[in-house]
C-alpha cells in the first residue's frame, strides 16, 4: 500500500523525460542544503520545534523584563514605550511564534506516524509552510533593529497583541511598527492555513488500512479539529489585516471615523479569529494529554467517542462566542446575554474531557514518569484556568475583570498551565521516539517541580491583583493601591519559573547528546508511532501497518503472530509494487517563501515615497519578491511530484544503488 | 492524443490509493474553498455592514453602478464556468486538444471579465468620482470586488500556466530545452493577454472620446499601434510555441490537476453570484 | 468537443453519465443565464421589498447550488466533499448573519454625524 | 523502566516546598485583603454591588466544583498510583473503555451548575444595562470624553458663564468628575481619538469609549466619597497613567460646588505696582516615575478635596498676575480654557477651576505647589509621551524657575 506514489505525470511507461539542470532534484542528505530542501515531515517537524522553542525563550525573556519592571511600584527598568512594545511582542511571540509552531511541530512529526503514513499528503507544501512561518517571524521581529541602531520610526510592534483600531492607524501610530505586525501576521496566516490544509488532507486521506476515523488516536483527532479551526478562523484576521493595511497605505476608510468607518468592526473581525485561536492553542495540548494519560495509566482512554466529540464540539462552539472579549463595548442586553450563555456552554464539553481523563486514571496503574507529572499538572492548572474563564463569562462581573490582571491570570493558567505544560509533557513523552534517548527522571521531575511552583507563585497572585483593580498593560503603578506585595511575589515567581525552564532546556540539550539510550517503545505505548525503531527511519514504516483496533500498537503487541503474518504478505506486495516510494527533495518551496520574505520586508520597512529618485523601494521590492515567489511556484509545479523508490535490507537500511533511483513512480 | 491501456483504468471519482477514495488534490481544494467562504464572508459582511449603516452624505450606489455592464460580465463569467467544466470532462477522457481549446476559451472569458472590471473601476473613478479613499462605499466596494478580481486574475494565471504545461514534452523526448521553451511560451501568452486588455480599453476609450466611429478607429490605431503590433507578435509566438512536437506529458492522469483548478475557477464564479446579488442588485430595490 | 474523444469506451458503468455531461453542462449554463436575467428584471418590478429580497436570495441560492453540484461535480463526488465545503459555508454564513445582526442592534448604531 | 532513586525525588520535592514556604513567609499577606483604592471587592454603589454579588456566585459555584472534581482527581492520583517496583512490573489493569451513564450524569450536573450561574447573570445584564425605569426621572446625566491621555467631563444640564457679557456654555471639567451621591448617574461616553475605557472599580465595571459609537453607562454612589478611576483600554504610550477621580457629594455640597463651577474663573486683583520678583528656590530633582501623592492625602482623600476648595492662605497677588500674563504669553491658552480669562483652548483639560482639583496630569500626581511645578517644568518626565510635552517641544516652550513659580501660583488661585 503505497499512498504517496499516486500522482505521477507520465503517460508513457517508465521512460525518463529529459530533465533540465534547473530541475535537477537536490540530493544532499546532510548539511545546510539538506535542511533547506527537506520535505521529510520529521525534519520539518523538528525545525518547527527548534524555531518555536527559540521564540519561546525570546517571549520568556520579554516576560521577565515585564516582571522586572513591575516588581516594585514605579519601576524604571523599561521606558513606557519599551514596556508597551514588550507586552505586545511577548503576547504575539508566545501565541504565534511559540505555542502554535510547537503544536505544528508535533502535528508534523507525530501525526503521520500515528496514522501509519509515510509522509504528509503534500510534502513540498509542508516545507513551504515552514519557511513561510520563518519569514513571518522575521518580519514580525525585524522592528527590534530600529531601537538598537537608533533609527526613528522603526520599532517593534507596540499596539497590543489584538491591535485595536484606531490606535493602529497611521494617525496614531505613524511609524512602521504596526506595518511589521500586519505583514508578519499575514505571512504567519499564510503559513498556518497552508499547513492546516495539508494536515486535513493527510488525516482524511493517508490513513493506513483499517485506521477508521473512530480509531484515530485522540492527538490526531485534535490535530484535525485544530486544522479546521485554523482554516476557518484565519481568513477573518487575514481580511481584517488587509483592511488595516489598506487604511494605512492606500487611504481607505474601513476604520477611519472621519470617513464613517466604525473601529468596533476591527474588534469583531479580530475576535472572530481570536477566540477560535485560543482553542487552536489548547486543543493540540488536550490531544497530547489524551495520549499521555492512557499510556501511563496503562488503560485505554475513558469514553473515547465522547472525548473526540467534545473536542469537535469545542471547536464548533468556539466560533459562536467571540464577543465575550467585548462585554465592555456596550453591545446591548440581548447580544451580551447570547454571548455570555454560549460562552458558558463551552464549559460542558471541556468538562467532559476533564471527567474522562479522571475516568482514564481511575482503576489504572499510574506510572509517575515525568511526562505524566506534566500531564497531571496540566489537568489541575487547566481546570483552574477554565474556572476563571467561566467567571469571565458572567458578563456583568466580567466588566470589572476585563482588562485587569484577573484576565492575565485566567489566560496564563490556560496557556501555560494548559498549552505549555502539555507541550513540555509532549516533548518528554516523544523525546525517546525522536532521538532514541530518554531524559533522566530525576532532572525531569526537578524541572517540573520548579516550573510548577514558579508558575503558581507567578500567576495565582494575579487573580487578587485583578480583583483589587490592577489594570493590565500598565508600565507603572502607584505604591498606595495595595498591589505591591502581590506584584513582588509574582515577579519572584516569574524568575523561579525562568530557572525552571532553564533547567528544563539544559536537561533536554544534555539528553540530546549524552542521555540514556533506550530501545523501541520505552513507555509501553499504545499508538502506532511506538511501533517503529527510534529514531525513526526516513521512510517511517517498513511496511504500512494494518490497523485492527483503536490502540493499534497495543493490539499488535497482544497479537504478534497475526500481525507478523500480515506484515510478511504486505511487504511482498509492496516490493512487487516497486518498493517504498519517497518524494524528492526540493528547493522551490524555500525559494517561494524567500520571495514572501522579500515582499514582507520590502512592503513594510520602506516609506511609500520615492526616497532615491528612480528607485521606489517599497513597490520595487514588493514586486521583486512577488516575482521570486511566482518563479518558485512555477518551477515547483513544473518539477512535478515525482519520487524515487527505496528497497530495504534486513536491518531496514536502504539498499545501495536502488536508493537514488530517479524513476518516476507509476502504478 | 490517444489514451493507452494504463490510463484507461483511471477512475476520476475514486482514487484507490487514498483512504476515502477522494484524490488528495481534490480534497485540498475543497478544504481551501471552505476556507475561502470565510474570506469572502468577512469581506461581504464588511461591505454590507457599512451599506446598512452608511455615513451621512455618502455616495448613492444607484447613481454610480451600471447594471448593464455588470450583467454582461456576470454572464461572461457564467460562460467561462461552462467552458471550464468542459475542459475537465475533456481531459478526463484524455482529449488534450479539446481540453486546451476549452482552457483557452476560459482564459478568454476570464480576461473579458477582468477587462470589464478594469473598465468599470476606471469609469467609477474618473466619471463617477468614487475612489478607494474618498468614501466608505468606494473603500468597501473596491476592496470586495477587487479581491474577487484578484482571484480571477490568479485563476487566469493558473489557467495560462496549465495550458502551457500541457505542452511539456513526454517521456522519451530528448528536448533539453523544454524548460526555456515552456517559460517563453508562458511569457508570450501572458504578454498577449495583457496587451489585449490594453488594446480593448484603448478601443473603448477611443469610441468614447471621438464623435464618429471612423474617427475613433483612427484615434485608436494611432494610440495603440505599438500595443497592437505587440499583441499580434505575441499571438504569433504562441502559435509557434504550440506547434506539435511529439508526445506530451499531459493526459488523463492530469485530469485531477485540471479538475482542482476548475474547482477554484467555479468558486470565483459562485462568489460573483453572491456579489452580484448582494452588492449590485439589492441596491436597486 | 467531447465527441472527438475516443476513450469513453474504456470506462466502466459508473461513467455512464459522461456521455450526457456535455448536454447537462450546456443546459445548466443556459438556466443560469436565464435566472440572472430574471434577477435583473426583478429588481425593477413593483413588488413589496421583502418579496423581492426573498426571491433574489432564493434565485441566487439556486444558481449557487447548481454551480457547486453540477459544474463542481459535488453531485457525482463522495458526499464528504459536500460536507467539507458546507462546514465552511455554514460557518461563514452564520458569521455574516451574526455580524449583520450585531451591527443592526440599537446599541451598535454609529453616532449621528452632527 | 527502572524506578528513579526516590530519595532524590523526595529531596527535590522537599527543597521546592521549602523554597516556596520561605518565599511566602517573607511577605506580608495584605494582598488577601484586597481593599485598595481600586478594589472591585468593596462595592460602594448598586451597580458595583450587583456585579460583585454575581462574582461571588460564579466564585462559589466554581469553587465547589473545583473541590469536588479536584477531590476525586486527588484521590485517583493517590489511590491508583504505582507504589512499588512490583506494581510497575505487574500486568496491566483491566482495559475498560468507558461508561455512558457516568458521562451523561456528569454532563447533566455541569449544565445544572451553569444554570445556577446563568440566571443571576441574565438578571444582572439587564439591571446594569441602564438606569432602572423607576429612577429614570431622578437620574443625573453627564458626558465623559476620552482624550489621549486624560478625561473631559461635561454637564449638559448646567450652563456655565463664558464671559462677563453673560454668554453660556455647558459646564466642563477635567479629570475629576463630581457627582451627587445617592442618585443614579447616567454617563454618555465618547472619545476624540482612540479607544479608552471608563472604569471606577468601586462604583461599577467599565465601559469602553469607542469612536463612532454612542456608548452609555450608569452608576451610583451610596454615600459621599472619593473614588479612583482608570482608563482600562490600552490607548498608547501613557495609557497606564491615564487616570481620573470621581467625587461624590451629598446634595448640599454638590449644589455649592456646582455654583462655584458655573462662575467665571476667580480673578485676583493685581497690586497697583508690581513688586520686585522674589528669589525662587530651585525645584528638587524628581526620580523617573517618582510617586507624587502624599500620605495624608491618601489617608483621607475626601477631606483633602474639601481643603482644596478654599482659597490658599498665603496668596501672592503680584505673582498671580504675572502667572496670568505668562499663561497667554507662553501660549498655554491655545490648548486650555480658563473661562473669563480669555483662554479658550480645547485640546487640554479645562483649567477654569483647576485650583480646586486634587490632582494634576489626569489623576497622576497631587495638586500642590511642588508637584504642579514639577509638571509645568517638564511634563514629559512626569507622564511620558503626553500631548502637552509634545506642545512644549513643538512650540519650544520653556519656563524659567521664576516663570514656573508664577504659573503655579496663578493656577492654584483658580478656585
Ligand atoms: C488556551 C487558551 C484559552 C482557553 C482554553 C480559554 C478558555 C476559556 N475562556 Fe479564555 N481567554 C484566553 C485564552 C483561553 N481561554 C485568552 C488568551 C484571553 C485574553 C485575550 C486578551 O484579552 O488578551 C481569554 C479571555 C477570556 C475572556 C474575556 C475576558 C475579558 O477580557 O474580559 C472570557 C470571557 O468570557 C474567557 C472565557 C473562557 C471560557 C469560558 C473558557 C472555557 O473554555 C473554559 C472551560 C473549562 C472549564 C470550565 C474547566 C473544566 C470544566 C469542568 C471541571 C466542568 C464543570 C465546570 C462547570 C460546569 C463550570 N476567556
Ligand atoms: C502562550 C502564551 C504565553 C506564555 C507562555 C506566557 C508566559 C509568561 N507571561 Fe504572558 N502574556 C501572553 C501570553 C503568554 N505569556 C499574552 C497573550 C499576553 C497579553 C499581551 C497583551 O496584552 O497584548 C501576556 C501578557 C503578560 C503580562 C501582562 C503584561 C501587561 O498587561 O502589562 C505578564 C505580566 O506579568 C506576563 C507574564 C508572563 C510570564 C512571567 C510568563 C512566563 O511563563 C515565561 C516563562 C519563560 C521564561 C522565563 C523564559 C525561559 C528561560 C530563560 C530564557 C532562561 C533564562 C532566565 C532565567 C535564568 C531567569 N504576560
Ligand atoms: Cu486611555 Cu487607556
Ligand atoms: Cu475567548
C-alpha distance from B212 to closest chain A C-alpha (Å): 39
- Chain C residues with CB under 8 Å of B279 CB are none
A627, A633, A634, A639 alpha-carbon torsion, rounded to 10°: 150
- The reply to whether D45 and D110 lie within a common domain is yes
- φ/ψ (deg, to 5) at D226: -125, 120
- Chain B residues with CB under 8 Å of A265 CB are 46, 49
In eight-state DSSP terms, residue A292 is H
CB contact residues (below 8 A), chain A span 223-262, against chain C:
228, 231-232, 236, 260, 262
Using alpha carbons, select from A266, A284, A262 the residue that is nearest to residue A274. Answer: A266
The closest-lying atom of ligand 2 relative to the alpha carbon of residue A458 is 40
pLDDT of residue A643: 78
In this structure, the strands spanning D185-191 and D140-147 are parallel
Any atom of ligand 1 within 6 Å of the Cβ of D331: no
Angle between helices B24-52 and B136-165 (to 10 degrees): 160
Q: In this structure, which ligand is nearest to the CA of A465?
A: 2
Alpha-carbon A39 to chain mean position: 18
Higher pLDDT, B60 or A264: A264
- The reply to whether D292 and D407 lie within a common domain is yes
First-to-last alpha carbon distance for chain B, in angstroms, is: 53
pLDDT of residue A339: 96
ipTM of the complex: 0.92
Coil, helix or strand for D188?
strand
pLDDT of residue A17: 53
pLDDT of residue C46: 85
Higher pLDDT, D287 or A334: A334
Nearest CA in chain D to A299: D95
- The reply to whether D146 and D225 lie within a common domain is yes
In eight-state DSSP terms, residue C64 is H
In a domain, D134, yes or no: no
- The reply to whether D105 and D74 lie within a common domain is yes
pLDDT of residue D277: 64
Say yes or no to pLDDT of A5 above 80.
no
The structure's pTM equals 0.93
Q: Report how far residue B37's alpha carbon sits from residue C92's, in angstroms, rounded to the nearest whole number.
A: 6
B35: Cβ–Cβ under 8 A, 6 or more apart, which residues?
A: A193, A197, A231, A232, A234, A235, C88
Please tell me the total count of domains within chain D: 3
In this structure, the strands spanning D176-180 and D243-249 are parallel
* E strand map for D224-382: 225-231, 243-249, 337-338, 343-344, 359-360, 365-366
In a domain, D1, yes or no: no
In a domain, D208, yes or no: yes
- The reply to whether D101 and D144 lie within a common domain is no
Q: Report how far residue A396's alpha carbon sits from residue D205's, in angstroms, rounded to the nearest whole number.
A: 7
B214: Cβ–Cβ under 8 A, 6 or more apart, which residues?
A: none
Flag if B19 and A235 touch (Cβ within 8 Å): no
Facing residue for C100 by CB, picked from B45, B56, B88? B45
- The CATH number linked to D408 is 2.60.40.420
Helices (H) and strands (E) counted in chain C, each on its own, are: 3, 0
Using alpha carbons, select from D340, D339, D348, D337 the residue that is nearest to residue D395. Answer: D348
- The reply to whether D190 and D242 lie within a common domain is yes
- The CATH number linked to D44 is 1.10.287.90
The closest-lying atom of ligand 2 relative to the alpha carbon of residue A499 is 58
- The reply to whether D235 and D329 lie within a common domain is no
Facing residue for B82 by CB, picked from C5, C29, C44? C29
pLDDT, chain D, mean: 88
pLDDT of residue D8: 58
Last residue of a domain, one of D129, D155, D181: D129
pLDDT of residue C18: 54
The alpha carbon of D235 and the centre of ligand 3 are apart by a number of angstroms equal to 4
- The reply to whether D297 and D246 lie within a common domain is no
pLDDT in tens, D183-238: 999 999 999 999 999 999 999 989 999 999 999 999 999 999 999 999 999 999 99
3-state helix, strand, coil in chain A (%, to 5): 65, 5, 30
Count other C-beta atoms under 10 Å from residue B233's C-beta.
14
Any atom of ligand 1 within 6 Å of the Cβ of A313: no
Q: Would you say the C-alpha torsion A632, A635, A641, A646 has a positive or negative sign?
A: negative
Whether D240 and A474 have beta carbons less than 8 Å apart is answered as yes
Q: Report how far residue B197's alpha carbon sits from residue B190's, in angstroms, rounded to the nearest whole number.
A: 11
> What are A418's three cell numbers?
494548559
Q: Report how far residue D88's alpha carbon sits from residue A152's, in angstroms, rounded to the nearest whole number.
A: 63
Count other C-beta atoms under 10 Å from residue B228's C-beta.
18
Count CA atoms within 13 Å of residue A408 on its CB side: 30
In this prediction, residue A475 has a pLDDT band, given cuts at 50, 70 and 90, of: very high
Q: Report how far residue A62's alpha carbon sits from residue A86's, in angstroms, rounded to the nearest whole number.
A: 6
Say yes or no to pLDDT of A660 above 50.
no
Whether B258 and B84 have beta carbons less than 8 Å apart is answered as no
Length of chain A: 667
Q: Report how far residue A502's alpha carbon sits from residue A489's, in angstroms, rounded to the nearest whole number.
A: 20
Count other C-beta atoms under 10 Å from residue A210's C-beta.
15
Any atom of ligand 2 within 6 Å of the Cβ of A473: yes
- Ranges A377-381, A385-389, A653-657, D251-255: which has the least confidence: A653-657
In this prediction, residue D275 has a pLDDT band, given cuts at 50, 70 and 90, of: low
In a domain, D353, yes or no: yes
In this prediction, residue A652 has a pLDDT band, given cuts at 50, 70 and 90, of: confident
Count other C-beta atoms under 10 Å from residue A142's C-beta.
20
- Ranges A15-19, A263-267, A519-523, B226-230: which has the least confidence: A15-19
Whether A378 and A416 have beta carbons less than 8 Å apart is answered as no
CB contact residues (below 8 A), chain A span 296-335, against chain D:
297-300, 302-306, 328-330, 332-333
Whether D263 and A450 have beta carbons less than 8 Å apart is answered as no
In a domain, D103, yes or no: yes
Last residue of a domain, one of D94, D129, D164: D129
- The reply to whether D17 and D123 lie within a common domain is yes
- Which whole number is the average pLDDT over A141-155? 84
Helices (H), B166-254: 178-209, 213-223, 225-241
Whether D377 and D392 have beta carbons less than 8 Å apart is answered as no
Tell me how far CA of residue D362 lies from CA of A246, B28, B190, C54, D174, in angstroms: 35, 56, 62, 54, 8
Whether D237 and D384 have beta carbons less than 8 Å apart is answered as yes
- The reply to whether D306 and D408 lie within a common domain is yes
- Residues lining ligand 3, CB < 6 A? D 146, 149, 196, 231, 233-235, 239, 242
The radius of gyration of chain C from alpha carbons, rounded to an integer in Å, stands at 21
Q: Residue D76: which domain range?
A: 6-129
Whether D245 and D175 have beta carbons less than 8 Å apart is answered as yes
- Chain D residues with CB under 8 Å of C111 CB are 212-214
Say yes or no to pLDDT of A118 above 80.
yes
- The reply to whether D299 and D371 lie within a common domain is yes
- Which whole number is the average pLDDT over B262-271? 93
Q: Return the H-helix or E-strand segment holding D172.
A: strand D168-174
pLDDT of residue D31: 62
Coil, helix or strand for D76?
helix
Facing residue for C105 by CB, picked from A262, A265, A332? A332
In a domain, D222, yes or no: yes
- The reply to whether D20 and D40 lie within a common domain is yes
pLDDT in tens, B51-84: 998 888 888 888 888 888 899 999 999 999 999 9
pLDDT in tens, B8-51: 456 666 777 788 888 899 999 999 999 999 999 999 999 999 99
Coil, helix or strand for A544?
coil
Query: DSSP string covering D316-336, please?
Result: -HHHHHHHHHHHHHTTGGGT-
In eight-state DSSP terms, residue D265 is P
> What are A70's three cell numbers?
513591575
Last residue of a domain, one of D97, D129, D161: D129
Say yes or no to pLDDT of B234 above 50.
yes
pLDDT in tens, A272-290: 999 999 999 999 999 999 9
Length of chain C: 114
Q: Report how far residue C80's alpha carbon sits from residue A205's, in angstroms, rounded to the nearest whole number.
A: 11
Say yes or no to pLDDT of D21 above 80.
no
Using alpha carbons, select from D189, D193, D162, D191 the residue that is nearest to residue D177. Answer: D189
In a domain, D279, yes or no: no
In a domain, D62, yes or no: yes
> What are A536's three cell numbers?
525513526
pLDDT in tens, A7-20: 333 333 344 555 66
C-alpha distance from A17 to closest chain B C-alpha (Å): 5
pLDDT of residue D23: 58
Amino acid at each position: 500500500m503505497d499512498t504517496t506514489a499516486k500522482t505521477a505525470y507520465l503517460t508513457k511507461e517508465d521512460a525518463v523525460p529529459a530533465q533540465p539542470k534547473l530541475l535537477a532534484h537536490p540530493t544532499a542528505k546532510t548539511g545546510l542544503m539538506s535542511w533547506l530542501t527537506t520535505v521529510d515531515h520529521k525534519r520539518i517537524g523538528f525545525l518547527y520545534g527548534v524555531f518555536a522553542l527559540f521564540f519561546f525563550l525570546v517571549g520568556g525573556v520579554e516576560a521577565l523584563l515585564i516582571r522586572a519592571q513591575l516588581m516594585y511600584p514605579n519601576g524604571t527598568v523599561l521606558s513606557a514605550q519599551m514596556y508597551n512594545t514588550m507586552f505586545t511582542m511577548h503576547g504575539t511571540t508566545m501565541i504565534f511564534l511559540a505555542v502554535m509552531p510547537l503544536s505544528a511541530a508535533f502535528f508534523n512529526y507525530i501525526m503521520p506516524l500515528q496514522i501509519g503514513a509515510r509522509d504528509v499528503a503534500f510534502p513540498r507544501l509542508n516545507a513551504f509552510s515552514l519557511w513561510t512561518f520563518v519569514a513571518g517571524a522575521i518580519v514580525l521581529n525585524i522592528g527590534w533593529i530600529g531601537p538598537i541602531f537608533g533609527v526613528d520610526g522603526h520599532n517593534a510592534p507596540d499596539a497590543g497583541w489584538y491591535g485595536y483600531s484606531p490606535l493602529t492607524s497611521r494617525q496614531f501610530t505613524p511609524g512602521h511598527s504596526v506595518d511589521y505586525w500586519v505583514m508578519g501576521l499575514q505571512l504567519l496566516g499564510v503559513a498556518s492555513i497552508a499547513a492546516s490544509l495539508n494536515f486535513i488532507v493527510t488525516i482524511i486521506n493517508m490513513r493506513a488500512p483499517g485506521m477508521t476515523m473512530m480509531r484515530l488516536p485522540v492527538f490526531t483527532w485534535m490535530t484535525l479539529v485544530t486544522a479546521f479551526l485554523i482554516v476557518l478562523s484565519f481568513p477573518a484576521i487575514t481580511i481584517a489585516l488587509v483592511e488595516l493595511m489598506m487604511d494605512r497605505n492606500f487611504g481607505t476608510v474601513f476604520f477611519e471615523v472621519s470617513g464613517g468607518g466604525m473601529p468596533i468592526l476591527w474588534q469583531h473581525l479580530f475576535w472572530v479569529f481570536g477566540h477560535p485561536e485560543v482553542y487552536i492553542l489548547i486543543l493540540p495540548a488536550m490531544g497530547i494529554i489524551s495520549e499521555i494519560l492512557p499510556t501511563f495509566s496503562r488503560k485505554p482512554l475513558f469514553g473515547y467517542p465522547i472525548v473526540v466529540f467534545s473536542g469537535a464540539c469545542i471547536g464548533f462552539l468556539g466560533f459562536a462566542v467571540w464577543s465575550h472579549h467585548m462585554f465592555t463595548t456596550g453591545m446591548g442586553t440581548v447580544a451580551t446575554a447570547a454571548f455570555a450563555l454560549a460562552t458558558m456552554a463551552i464549559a460542558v464539553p471541556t468538562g467532559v474531557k476533564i471527567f474522562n481523563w479522571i475516568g482514564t486514571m481511575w482503576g489504572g496503574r499510574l506510572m509517575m514518569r515525568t511526562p505524566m507529572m506534566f500531564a497531571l499538572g496540566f489537568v489541575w492548572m487547566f481546570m483552574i484556568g477554565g474556572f476563571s474563564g467561566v467567571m469571565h463569562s458572567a458578563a456583568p462581573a466580567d466588566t470589572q475583570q476585563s482588562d485587569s490582571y484577573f484576565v492575565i491570570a485566567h489566560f496564563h493558567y490556560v496557556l501555560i498551565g494548559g498549552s505549555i505544560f502539555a507541550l513540555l509533557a509532549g516533548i518528554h513523552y516523544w523525546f525517546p521516539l525522536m532521538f532514541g534517548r530518554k531524559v533522566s527522571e530525576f532532572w525531569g521531575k526537578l524541572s517540573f517541580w520548579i516550573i510548577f511552583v514558579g508558575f503558581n507563585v507567578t500567576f495565582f497572585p494575579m487573580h487578587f491583583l485583578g480583583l483589587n483593580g490592577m489594570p493590565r498593560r500598565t508600565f507603572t503603578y502607584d505604591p498606595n493601591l495595595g498591589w505591591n506585595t502581590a506584584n513582588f511575589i509574582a515577579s519572584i515567581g516569574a524568575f523561579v519559573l525562568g530557572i525552571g525552564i532553564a533547567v528544563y532546556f539544559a536537561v533536554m540539550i544534555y539528553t540530546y547528546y549524552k542521555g540514556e539510550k533506550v530501545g523501541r517503545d520505552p513507555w509501553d505505548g499504545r499508538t502506532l508511532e511506538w511501533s517503529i525503531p527510534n529514531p525513526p527511519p526516513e521512510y517511517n514504516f517498513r511496511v504500512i501497518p494494518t490497523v485492527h483496533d483503536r490502540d493499534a500498537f497495543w493490539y499488535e503487541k497482544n497479537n504478534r503472530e497475526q500481525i507478523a503474518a500480515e506484515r510478511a504478505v504486505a511487504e511482498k506486495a509492496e516490493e512487487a509494487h516497486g518498493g517504498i516510494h519517497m518524494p524528492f527533495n526540493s528547493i522551490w518551496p524555500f525559494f517561494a517563501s524567500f520571495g514572501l520574505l522579500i515582499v514582507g520586508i520590502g512592503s513594510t520597512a520602506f516609506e511609500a515615497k520615492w526616497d532615491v529618485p528612480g528607485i521606489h523601494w517599497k513597490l520595487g521590492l514588493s514586486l521583486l519578491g512577488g516575482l521570486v515567489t511566482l518563479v518558485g511556484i512555477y518551477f515547483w509545479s513544473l518539477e512535478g511530484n515525482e519520487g524515487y523508490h527505496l528497497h530495504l535490507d534486513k536491518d531496514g537500511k536502504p539498499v545501495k544503488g536502488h536508493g537514488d533511483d530517479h524513476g518516476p513512480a507509476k502504478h | 492524443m490517444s489514451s493507452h491501456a494504463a490510463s484507461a483504468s483511471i477512475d476520476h471519482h475514486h482514487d484507490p490509493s487514498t483512504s476515502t477514495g477522494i484524490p488528495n488534490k481534490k480534497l485540498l481544494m475543497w478544504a481551501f474553498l471552505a476556507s475561502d467562504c470565510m474570506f469572502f464572508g468577512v469581506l461581504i459582511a464588511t461591505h454590507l455592514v457599512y451599506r446598512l449603516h452608511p455615513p451621512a452624505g455618502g455616495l448613492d450606489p444607484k447613481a454610480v453602478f451600471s447594471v448593464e455592464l455588470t450583467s454582461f460580465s456576470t454572464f461572461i463569467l457564467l460562460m467561462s464556468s461552462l467552458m471550464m467544466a468542459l475542459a475537465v470532462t475533456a481531459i478526463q477522457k484524455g482529449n488534450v486538444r479539446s481540453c486546451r481549446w476549452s482552457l483557452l476559451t476560459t482564459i478568454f472569458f476570464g480576461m473579458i471579465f477582468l477587462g470589464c472590471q478594469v473598465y468599470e473601476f476606471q469609469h467609477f473613478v474618473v466619471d463617477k468620482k468614487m475612489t478607494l479613499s474618498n468614501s466608505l462605499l468606494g473603500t468597501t466596494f473596491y476592496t470586495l470586488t477587487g479581491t474577487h478580481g484578484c482571484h480571477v486574475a490568479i485563476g487566469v494565471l493558473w489557467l495560462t500556466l496549465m495550458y502551457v504545461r500541457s505542452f511539456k514534452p513526454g517521456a522519451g523526448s530528448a528536448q533539453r530545452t523544454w524548460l526555456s521553451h515552456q517559460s517563453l511560451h508562458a511569457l508570450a501568452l501572458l504578454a498577449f493577454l495583457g496587451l489585449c486588455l490594453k488594446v480593448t480599453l484603448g478601443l473603448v476609450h477611443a469610441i468614447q472620446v471621438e464623435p464618429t466611429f471612423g474617427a475613433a478607429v483612427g484615434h485608436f490605431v494611432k494610440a495603440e499601434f505599438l500595443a497592437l503590433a505587440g499583441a499580434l507578435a505575441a499571438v504569433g509566438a504562441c502559435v509557434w510555441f504550440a506547434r506539435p512536437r511529439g508526445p506530451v506529458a499531459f493526459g488523463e492522469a492530469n485530469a485531477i490537476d485540471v479538475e482542482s483548478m476548475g474547482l477554484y475557477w467555479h468558486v470565483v464564479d459562485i462568489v460573483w453570484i453572491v456579489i452580484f446579488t448582494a452588492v449590485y442588485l439589492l441596491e436597486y430595490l | 468537443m467531447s465527441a472527438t474523444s475516443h476513450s469513453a469506451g474504456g470506462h466502466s458503468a459508473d461513467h455512464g453519465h459522461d456521455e450526457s455531461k456535455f448536454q447537462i453542462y450546456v443546459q445548466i449554463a443556459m438556466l443560469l443565464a436565464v435566472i440572472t436575467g430574471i434577477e435583473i428584471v426583478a429588481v425593477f418590478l413593483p413588488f413589496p421589498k421583502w418579496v423581492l429580497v426573498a426571491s433574489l436570495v432564493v434565485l441566487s441560492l439556486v444558481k449557487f447550488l447548481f454551480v457547486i453540484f453540477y459544474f463542481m461535480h459535488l453531485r457525482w463526488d463522495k458526499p464528504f466533499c459536500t460536507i467539507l465545503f458546507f462546514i465552511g459555508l455554514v460557518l461563514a454564513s452564520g458569521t455574516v448573519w451574526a455580524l449583520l445582526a450585531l451591527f443592526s442592534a440599537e446599541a451598535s448604531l454609529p453616532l449621528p454625524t452632527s | 523502566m527502572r524506578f528513579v532513586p526516590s530519595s532524590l525525588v523526595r529531596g527535590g520535592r522537599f527543597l521546592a516546598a521549602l523554597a516556596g514556604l520561605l518565599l511566602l513567609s517573607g511577605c506580608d499577606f495584605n494582598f488577601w485583603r484586597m481593599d485598595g483604592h481600586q478594589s472591585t471587592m468593596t462595592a460602594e454603589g448598586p451597580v458595583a454591588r450587583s456585579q460583585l454579588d454575581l462574582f461571588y456566585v460564579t466564585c462559589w459555584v466554581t469553587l465547589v466544583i473545583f473541590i469536588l472534581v479536584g477531590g476525586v482527581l486527588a484521590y485517583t492520583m493517590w489511590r491508583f498510583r504505582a507504589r512499588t517496583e512490583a506494581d510497575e512490573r505487574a500486568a496491566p489493569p483491566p482495559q475498560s473503555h468507558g461508561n455512558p451513564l457516568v458521562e451523561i450524569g456528569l454532563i447533566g450536573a455541569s449544565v445544572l451548575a451553569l444554570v445556577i450561574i446563568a440566571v443571576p447573570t441574565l438578571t444582572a445584564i439587564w439591571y446594569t444595562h441602564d438606569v432602572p425605569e423607576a429612577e429614570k426621572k431622578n437620574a443625573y446625566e453627564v458626558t465623559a470624553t476620552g482624550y489621549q491621555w486624560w478625561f473631559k467631563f461635561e454637564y449638559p444640564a448646567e450652563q456655565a458663564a463664558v464671559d462677563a457679557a453673560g454668554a453660556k456654555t455647558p459646564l466642563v471639567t477635567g479629570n475629576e468628575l463630581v457627582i451627587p451621591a445617592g442618585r443614579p448617574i447616567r454617563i454618555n461616553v465618547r472619545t476624540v481619538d482612540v479607544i479608552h475605557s471608563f472604569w471606577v472599580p468601586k462604583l461599577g465595571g467599565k465601559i469602553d469609549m469607542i469612536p463612532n459609537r454612542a456608548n452609555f453607562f450608569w452608576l451610583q454612589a451610596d454615600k459621599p466619597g472619593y473614588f479612583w478611576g482608570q482608563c482600562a483600554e490600552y490607548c498608547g504610550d501613557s495609557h497606564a497613567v491615564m487616570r481620573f477621580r470621581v467625587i461624590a457629594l451629598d446634595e448640599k455640597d454638590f449644589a455649592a460646588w456646582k455654583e462655584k463651577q458655573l462662575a467665571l474663573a476667580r480673578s485676583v486683583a493685581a497690586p497697583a505696582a508690581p513688586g520686585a520678583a522674589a528669589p525662587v528656590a530651585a525645584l528638587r530633582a524628581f526620580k523617573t516615575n517618582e510617586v507624587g501623592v502624599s500620605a495624608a492625602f491618601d489617608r483621607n482623600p475626601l477631606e483633602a478635596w474639601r481643603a482644596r476648595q478654599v482659597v490658599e492662605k498665603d496668596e501672592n497677588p503680584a505673582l498671580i498676575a504675572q502667572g496670568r500674563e505668562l499663561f497667554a504669553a507662553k501660549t498655554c491658552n491655545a490648548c486650555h480654557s480658563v473661562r473669563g480669562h480669555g483662554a479658550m483652548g480645547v485640546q487640554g483639560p479645562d483649567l477654569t477651576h483647576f485650583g480646586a482639583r486634587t490632582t494634576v496630569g489626569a489623576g497622576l500626581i497631587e495638586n500642590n505647589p511642588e508637584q504642579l511645578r514639577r509638571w509645568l517644568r517638564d511634563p514629559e518626565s512626569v507622564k511620558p509621551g503626553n500631548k502637552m510635552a509634545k506642545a512644549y517641544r513643538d512650540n519650544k516652550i520653556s519656563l524659567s524657575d521664576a516663570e514656573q513659580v508664577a504659573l503655579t501660583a496663578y493656577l492654584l488661585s483658580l478656585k
